[in-house]
């Protein structure tokens, strides 16, 4: 049996569709989950969101053992969580750091990611539909035997 793709979402993403729709759009996190599930197909997806750094680290540890690839939108954790970065360093499968907006077009505080240096790839600015593209790209990377 193939291991699923893990999709982990950080703080405040549970408010997608309501939080600053002029920046993040009106697509909800439940709709994003559907996008990811369709993109993953038979491989399956484990889709989660947390506002807790501790929980996110526990899920990354779980993904190390139980997933074929990881898509993470660390949200605010991107810019300050060395603990999440350290957990991701242990991940040996394809890993995409994902952001709904182009963080490099936003305020300067959003320009430096601690996660980018350990990710296989970074996707930003594609909006919620980009999640599906990222999942499909991860599956291609898995099929090609690409590691982190």
Enumerate the active-site residues. 24, 99
- DSSP lists the bridge partners of residue 70 as 6, 95
Q: Which residues of 1-36 are buried (b: 16+ CB within 10 A; e: fewer)?
A: eebbbbbbbbbebbebbeeeeeebbebebebbbebb
Q: 72 phi and psi, to 5 degrees?
A: -125, 130
How many CA atoms lie within 13 Å of 59's alpha carbon, on the beta-carbon side? Answer: 23
**Spatial distance between the Cα atoms of 15 and 85, rounded to a whole number of angstroms:** 24
Structure tokens of 85?
């970065």
- Name the helix (H) or strand (E) containing 98: strand 95-99
């Amino acid at each position: 049996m193939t291991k699923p793709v893990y999709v982990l979402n950080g703080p405040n993403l549970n408010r997608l569709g309501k939080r600053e729709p002029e920046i993040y759009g009106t697509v909800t996190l439940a709709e994003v989950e559907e996008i990811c599930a369709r993109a993953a197909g038979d491989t399956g997806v484990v889709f989660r969101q947390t506002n807790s750094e501790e929980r996110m680290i526990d899920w990354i540890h779980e993904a190390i053992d139980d997933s074929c690839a990881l898509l993470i939108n660390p949200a605010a954790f991107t810019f300050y969580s060395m603990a999440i970065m350290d957990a991701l360093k242990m991940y040996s499968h394809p890993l995409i750091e994902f952001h709904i907006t182009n963080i490099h077009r936003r305020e300067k505080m959003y320009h430096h990611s601690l996660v980018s240096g350990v990710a296989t790839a970074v996707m930003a600015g594609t909006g919620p539909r980009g999640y599906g593209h990222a999942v499909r790209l991860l599956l291609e990377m898995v099929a090609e035997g690409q590691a982190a």
